[in-house]
Amino acid sequence: MTETLLNAAGHGLVLVGLLFFLAGSLGLLRFPDIYARLHALTKAHNLGLGLLCSGLALQASALSEAAKMMLVWLLVLIASGIGATLVASTANTCGIVPRQVSRRIRHKRPREPKE
């Protein structure tokens, strides 16, 4: 009984993770500039990978296997977090300016005055 439940939960988590991957990839293709694309990649894909790994860990036969799955997620989190920072700071050094929000929206929400 628990076996079936765990399996079903694992499949569900994998499916949800795949949806996040899809969203992240869509963002990578559709977002306007490099910073927004990095955002899509790191946030959506890392969450997707986390769900995928937990889904697989739930179906794993041994505890050590599940721990390895989670280790994969942890390592990718570290690498992609720092990698994204590196890409963004290199782009910034190279003079790529983040795309600004259009003026109309900025008028609606004025910046808070400095104290």
Partner 1 sequence: MTLAQWSFDLLLAGGLLWLGWQALFEKRRFSAVVHFMAFNLLMALVWVRLSAPDIALAEAAIGAGVTGALLLTALGRLPSGTSSGAHPHRWHPHWRYLAVISACISTAWLIAVVPQLPSPGLAGEIEAVMPATGVDHAVTAVLLNIRALDTLLEVAVMLAAVVLVWSLGPTLRPLPPATILPGLPALSRLLHPLFLLVPTYLLWRGTHAPGGAFPAGAVLGAGGVLMLLADEVGWMQRQHWQRLLRLLLVSGLALFVLVGLGGLLMTGTFLSIPLGVARLLIMAVEIAMALSIALMLMALYLYGEPGQ
Residue type for 49, please? L
- Please pick, from the candidates 11, 82, 98, 106, the single residue that binds partner 1 as defined by CB under 8 A: 82
Q: Smallest gap, in angstroms, from Cβ of residue 76 to partner 1?
A: 12
* Residue 2-41 contact track with partner 1, rule CB under 8 A, x = bound: ----------------------------------------
The sign of the torsion formed by the CA atoms of 10, 12, 13, 17 equals positive
Q: Which of 40, 39, 49 is nearest to 18 (CA)?
A: 49
Binding of partner 1 by 75 (CB under 8 A): yes
Burial of 107 (0-12, 13-18, 19+ CB in 10 A): exposed
Distance between CA 63 and CA 57 in Å, rounded?
8
Cα 106 to the center of its chain, rounded Å: 27
- Please pick, from the candidates 5, 15, 67, 78, the single residue that binds partner 1 as defined by CB under 8 A: 78
- Please pick, from the candidates 19, 65, 67, 90, the single residue that binds partner 1 as defined by CB under 8 A: 90
Give the footprint of partner 1 on this chain (CB under 8 A). Answer: 75, 78-79, 82-83, 85-86, 89-90, 93
